[in-house]
Structure 1
């Protein structure tokens, strides 16, 4: 038994922390595009640096400005991905984001689907926050649908691929092709259906980003840097013909496969740290999808 115990402990560690195979890899279905094939600068151009071949973009935040970029076209569905490497050290209050939104087309009444990296203090992990807003705004009436994770790897040590797949039936969030969250369309009132653009940004969200605003951005550690590469966009733009087919989430073309569901269960069981439907402090009459 004494000889068996170390083996069992090693097996337990491996099963918890070793990323399972989802069996299907959506990112393999798309070729990376150069930055200007899909995007333009939105703000803070002096805080962006593009590689000579346009394959990689570095953006940063300092005490004068952050930076953001936006897709050239809006989309009514699709797969949207990028590989991202985050900064190590003190990054509290800083958010690096890759997301979909139509805020500029519908100010005060917009839809949004977010992947956000919430900065942290040394010794504590980054938090990856996923969120879905439907016809919300930033005026205090916005209804967030947050699910947060601590990742099974160090996102500052190298590039990892993060993606949103949005089709008429569901929204899937992926990390290195592992589905970590599925947000199903249960009702049009709780699901975004209007065209959205793809965005990326880095900005100061000291009021809430790190432990509910306990730790603020400290510009003694500036600049705060995020690196993006392997940009992928596929799907139906807002201008595509009606016969344009949405991107499949699985080999069958509808929903996730059993192997993908198993991988998602692994991610949520071991690394999810917050889920809005399980938060007793929330008014769930505003989030009816939690009950059906």
Structure 2
């Protein structure tokens, strides 16, 4: 069996491959070091973009299974890709722990006024009287109670938060006080303190955090997006933050990345921007490889693969 593997990971993956495996290496530009015409499996990496992917699809007409390390695959499901009958699996679950830790960081930074306190330290200024909040009994709404959402809930629950989740097919989940379905979360917005967006970017979720959602939130609410920039209407968010509809926001992802220097998001005082870094961890690479190797064994044995993407649903 022939595999297409990212150049940066070959040394880590090859010791785990069966002896009858042949490897074709590919760089971030899609350049292959061998013949991929009969390759069945492709493991992409984070820097892969549509032109690179299309280049590999053209070079590998026999491709049957593609594993991507990302949880979100909206950038992969292009019309060209969807023309091919390829099983797509993703990295759902690999990045849940570091992202969840970042979400707790965003919440605590807001509740405890950490940016102001850091600034005071830098100015050597002793000041008291901040409206510092506790998290106990605050309500956290997690839009997207999948793998990442559940990791967030597990870390938020010990702080005493009331946690509500939403998912297409609601069910009882550990650490959630309630899980609602479809658009039921919209009616809950007036009573929440923190909103975390952890849903995939699909046709249904594109810019679904719009003016109506932001106006429905209480003025003290704090919005956190660790999903995809496209789920938020940025013009509506800028207006909400400027006019005080909500207290603030933490964005780990935006519509255009890297965020252009001229974007008004940079200058808003009630926003915390991080450069799409919440999923970073020295353990992510290890987890990604372990997931791929496990799925490779399943693939060879004809067993169901983990994390198969419903390409019609988009996740």
Q: TM-score of the superposition, structure 1-length normalised?
A: 0.27
Return the structure number with greater helix share: 2
- Structure showing greater Rg: 2
Higher RCO (C-alpha under 8 Å, 6+ residues apart): 1
